[in-house]
Chains A and B, each alone.
Chain A
């Protein structure tokens, strides 16, 4: 006679079998599309939500988003996976990795993918400075996903307290200096202004904004043998001013990436130059009244062009079966639609990349209600687009940015003069470019 124990397990096993038999067989296995990205916090939630919208909109494909860490970590992970023939279908790569991806031979250019899949995309409708950054010979290679541009944030309460008009952000660097002094003198803040992403905001964008070349060969777009030009008159002048302004706290350096954010958020600095993508976070996290303005301008003899973008795009890895590529293409097409573009912009603060989406936002009075959301669009579209403002395309740009920021720190710390520091940055960067060109010789 079986023991009660055995009897019980037999009953359980039977029950399990019944459950398994009754469980609905998966209708038709959906084709999975792997999507690796580097979005954190709120941006990660928004990305997941966007993917969910796509997955719910059709039944053939399922996009699986997976956060792989920081931008460099995500890229490194994708490369490692590619070498093991396990690459994801889509990988998010930051703008400085563009040249590396273009020359990798590991990607399926987006324009080609869409052509293969016969999916029509209105490329002409995309905002020029965004498309330009990621195009080669006029064809888009990766799908812009999260794009932003630096803008000026200012503390309206502090401006008020200092007797400045809180509805008027400074437009020139001269005004930035003057307003800073007033704000500090009145005790409204301890420092005038600070900056995030030092190389991106103060070197890369300042050169584009003032129509100055960042590198030879049309900022690297025309060939791998480009050399940096940031140690010329303009770059040295700007860095010299920033260095001088450290005295009296007109300018306060707050570190790389976004580590200076708290300086603005806690009211220490009255102005802050940082990515437009922070609007969302500041709306929730900043206690005082604040506004935005376009990047400050030095005035004549310089002429104003446009700012350049930052952020990341989605690259399609090659070597995947056709039916999976079809899913990838459909997902990218979905992302490019005005509806998704508008949702993404309103939710995250990143730029909507199609003119239709921007027009719709205008028609819906979105920019009337949230004028700060318009600042970035104005910077990118209202100025004169030139060869200097179309973006920067350099190999190993990640390292170059690192070199520039290291030298900026040496300059701000007084270890080197601005000219010396920038000369060293250029020499080191040119070495890096040479190395990249050698490694990518076709």
Chain B
């Protein structure tokens, strides 16, 4: 690797300063604050703060509802990641075929990424809402089964997973298209000549070659699903029915901002942060070994 040599000693620090400042102000400072909050019991208006040690954590760990939100989070993040990464690889594969109107397709496929999660949620609401959605209306002609996710938890969970995966699709496809286009045609042709079918070619050549991208996307989608999916849940299910779609990030919002229980909310965000850091480290430690970088 080439070392860049700066003539001015201070220039490199100056160059990384903006990024460091942003990270400090918008990441480390809030993270520190929530860590601090998690050790206190705070009155809603913040005028009395009582140090309670690990009380907030103990209460959480004794609360079956909290475990349910953890399980929900894993189901949700797992579902979103598999669906978003899997289907985007498939679509990227299709979008790299030699077909007419290719650039148009590729452009259209990127669009969902430009839609804010909350807006995506509203769109799904108008399509799927049991009371005023268009799809349940049509489904009622075909089947008498009621997909009423206001009462059926699994339907609600499926819906928010699909909605969230959809918002990630464009981003993932962009990466995969680039990755697929970078695979040298000669390699695939050689395999073709050797008699490998499309599936074999995909398994033996394409998949390993895009594995760094898959690794990156899986990590990123998972982190997104844990942290940033708040908008979709808030717009579509508000965590219901019952607690069926209350994932960790939604519960901490609910307890902190609606319930005004800032101590518990701080403890929850601390746990969530630790969990995601841990998962990411695990992925880097184990999954990355299977990744072939060129």
Interfacial residues, chain A to chain B (CB-CB below 8 A): 72-73, 75-76, 79, 82-83, 100, 103-106, 253-256, 259-260, 262-263, 266, 268, 396, 398-399, 402, 405-407, 409-410, 412-413, 415, 428, 432, 435, 438-440
Contacts and interface: CB of A to CB of B under 8 A. Distances in A.
Given A76-B257, A100-B260, A438 B47 contact: no
A263 to B, nearest CB: 6
Contacts of A438: 41
B130 to A, nearest CB: 8
Contacts of B261: 396, 399, 435, 439
A253 B45 contact: no
B241 A413 contact: yes
A440 B50 CA distance: 11
A100 B151 contact: no
B213 interface: no
B190 interface: no
B259 A398 contact: yes
Nearest to A442: B48
Nearest to B244: A409
B101 interface: no
A255 B45 contact: no
A439 B41 contact: yes
B103 to A, nearest CB: 41
B150 interface: yes
B242 A83 contact: no
Interface in B14-57: 41-48, 50
B254 interface: yes
A413 B258 contact: no
A178 B43 CA distance: 50
Contact of B258 (A399, A405, A412): A399
Contact of A406 (B42, B43, B150, B242): B242
B238 interface: yes
Interface of B is mostly: loop
B158 to A, nearest CB: 15
Contacts of A435: 261, 264
A398 B241 CA distance: 17
A256 B240 contact: yes
Nearest to A399: B259
Contacts of B48: 439
B152 interface: yes
B78 to A, nearest CB: 23
Interface of B: 41-48, 50, 65, 129, 131-132, 150-153, 238, 240-243, 254-255, 257-261, 264
A104 B45 contact: yes
Given A406-B243, A410-B242, A413-B152, A396 B259 contact: yes
A103 B242 CA distance: 30
Contacts of B152: 413
B259 A432 contact: yes
A83 B150 contact: no
B242 A402 contact: no
Given A79-B44, A398-B259, A439-B43, A262 B240 contact: no
B131 A263 contact: yes
A147 B47 CA distance: 30
A72 B242 contact: no
Given A83-B46, A253-B150, A432-B259, 11 more contacts: A72-B257, A253-B151, A256-B238, A259-B129, A399-B255, A406-B243, A409-B242, A413-B152, A435-B261, A435-B264, A440-B43
B29 to A, nearest CB: 16
Contact of B240 (A76, A79, A409, A439): A409
A76 B254 CA distance: 12
A402 B254 contact: yes
B45 A106 contact: yes
A260 B131 contact: yes
A398 B258 contact: yes
Given A79-B260, A106-B47, A256-B240, A409 B150 contact: yes
Contacts of B132: 262, 266
